[in-house]
């Protein structure tokens, strides 16, 4: 059973308004939503009412520079723990979260769960994806900023990629008998 576009449009806009989620209604049944985050400062997400389902599509990050197989392995494993959406890549290799919800299942609570999952995944996995797929670029950026005295504030979560781990015990030379 198909729900009229106007009805779904009202449900979606009311749910977004009630939760104070920023969005731009581009056309009936087409919402460009901006979800806040902490690691990934914001996640842009489309909600598009299709013929039989609401489509959710969110950009997570661009194509990794390196370690593609490891990134894709991570995404496939992560898919097993996601609700209502899953990771995919586009023709360029950019990473997205996508999902579909049948019209009759679109409720404010279901939208809340889906958008919550998008934020949890995109924001929660963002640094991991950067560490795996962009480690060399992060190291280069760190070195460039250090050489110019630039701020490292937003690179601090990746400090372990450029500095060897510290230990709590003193190093020994082998002469300690």
Which residue ranges make up each domain of the chain? 5-126
Residue 128 binned pLDDT confidence (cut-offs 50, 70, 90): very high
Euclidean distance between CA atoms 35 and 32, whole angstroms: 10
- pLDDT > 60? residue 26: yes
Would you identify the CATH topology of the domain 5-126? Yope Regulator; Chain: A, (3.30.1460)
Measured in whole angstroms, the distance separating CA 4 from the mean position of its chain's CA atoms is: 31
Nearest one of 4, 41, 5, 2 to 22, comparing CA atoms: 41
Alpha carbons 53 and 159: distance in angstroms, whole number: 43
Per the listing, tokens 């097993």 go with: 80
Written as six digits, the tokens of 80 are: 């097993």
**Cα–chain center distance at 47:** 16
**pLDDT given for residue 74 in this prediction:** 98
Query: What is the per-residue pLDDT across 78-127, written as a single tens digit (0 to 9) for each?
Result: 999 999 999 999 999 999 999 999 999 999 999 999 999 999 999 999 99
Average model confidence (pLDDT) for the chain? 90
Is 168 a residue whose pLDDT tops 70?
Answer: no
pTM of the predicted structure, to 2 decimals: 0.84
pLDDT at residue number 164: 66
Question: How many whole angstroms separate alpha carbon 164 and alpha carbon 53?
Answer: 49
Write the CB contacts of 60 (distance below 8 Å, at least 6 apart in sequence): 40, 43, 87, 95, 96, 97, 121, 122, 125, 126, 129
What mean pLDDT is predicted for residues 159-168? 72
Residue 165 pLDDT greater than 90, yes or no? no
Predicted confidence (pLDDT) per residue in 46-67, tens digit:
999 998 899 999 999 999 999 9
Distance CA 119, CA 113 (A): 10
């Amino acid at each position: 059973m198909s729900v009229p576009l106007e009805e779904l449009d009202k449900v979606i806009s009311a749910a977004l308004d009630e939760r104070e989620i920023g969005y731009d209604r581009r056309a009936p049944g087409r919402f460009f939503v901006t979800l806040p985050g902490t690691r990934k400062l914001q996640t842009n997400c489309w909600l598009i009412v299709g013929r039989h389902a609401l489509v959710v599509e969110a950009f997570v990050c661009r194509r990794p520079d390196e370690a593609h197989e490891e990134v894709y392995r991570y995404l496939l494993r992560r898919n097993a723990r996601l609700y209502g959406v899953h990771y995919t890549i586009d023709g360029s290799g950019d990473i997205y979260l996508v999902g579909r919800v049948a019209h009759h299942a679109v409720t404010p609570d279901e939208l809340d769960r889906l958008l919550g999952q998008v934020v949890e995944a995109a924001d929660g996995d963002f640094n991991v994806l950067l560490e795996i797929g962009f480690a060399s670029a992060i190291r280069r950026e760190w070195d460039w900023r250090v050489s110019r005295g630039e701020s490292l504030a937003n690179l601090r979560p990746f400090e372990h990629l450029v500095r060897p781990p510290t230990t709590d015990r003193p190093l020994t030379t082998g002469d300690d008998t």
